[in-house]
Structure 1
Amino acid sequence: MSERLAAGSPAPEFSLPDSAGQVVSLADFPGRKVIVYFYPAAMTPGCTTQAVDFSTALKDLAAAGYTVVGISPDTVEKLAAFTEKESLGFPLLADPEREAIKAYGAWGSRKLYGKDVIGVIRSTFVVDVDDAGEGTISLAQYNVKATGHVAKLQRDLGIAA
């Protein structure tokens, strides 16, 4: 299990490959607000719903100054197939060693079809990245639902859908 983060916590840095194999780091977004979300597995029904919802909301999120990054324990190859299949417009990062997942507290006990399992806890964070590339958590949400989460997040952030 990993320790959970809260608003005001320093955001753990990450450097992970995206679906094209290019390394993306939190520090790549100086002066931005970054929505970092963790999901269990690409190409599963819930994760697809959530990714497509983020992709659909990208225009409104970008207009409000937010950038979206998704992280899962999937391989680069699986993320490439997922990104292409769903025409996603934001980076998905591969974390097969679960380093960022654990650093953000998104690894632990969760329910899967009524059973307790250890795995990725569907979680979303809003990170304010300063001009030096250091991030601070401004919103931390754990155990979010795949369906309807993006719309709820937009309401929480005061962004019209």
Structure 2
Amino acid sequence: MAPQTAFYMQIGVETLDLRMDRICSNALRLAAHLDELASSGEVPELQVRYPGLSSHEGHELAKRQFKDRYGGILTLRLGSRKRAFAMLDSLDLVSIVSNIGDARTLAVHPATTIAAHLDRAAQLASGVYDDLVRVSVGIEDCEDLITDFDQALGKLPAESEE
């Protein structure tokens, strides 16, 4: 490892715990907000998956193992590929890239990016659907994230037909 790389890693490690606290807190708040929109029917066809939500099938296990820090990744299903891309195209604050764990919130359409090399059957077996968006939550102000997702979801086409 180059000395400069080691130096940057050391600096990053010093604040990792603080950043992860913020990332996990933001992810839980954002997931809970989006789940409420889905539950209320305000955003038809929206499904939110995040282990910090009591509706997640692995929530009890996650509670025991993660001690209220459920990570920074959540996924959204929007009913169709068209709606997934419409939401991604409407996000202003969120960057559309395939990284995870950044200080910024990032989103990606896995079926056409990180899982594009898989055939359709392998994608489905891996839980990668055409309407799926993966979100890696960052450390921004959570109210700004909620506002950005709200405005993007408000622009979705009404129907999930392709």
Larger Rg, first or second structure (1 or 2): 2
Question: Which one has a larger percent helix, Structure 1 or Structure 2?
Answer: 2
What TM-score, normalized by structure 2, do the two folds share?
Answer: 0.34
User: Higher strand share goes to which structure?
Assistant: 1
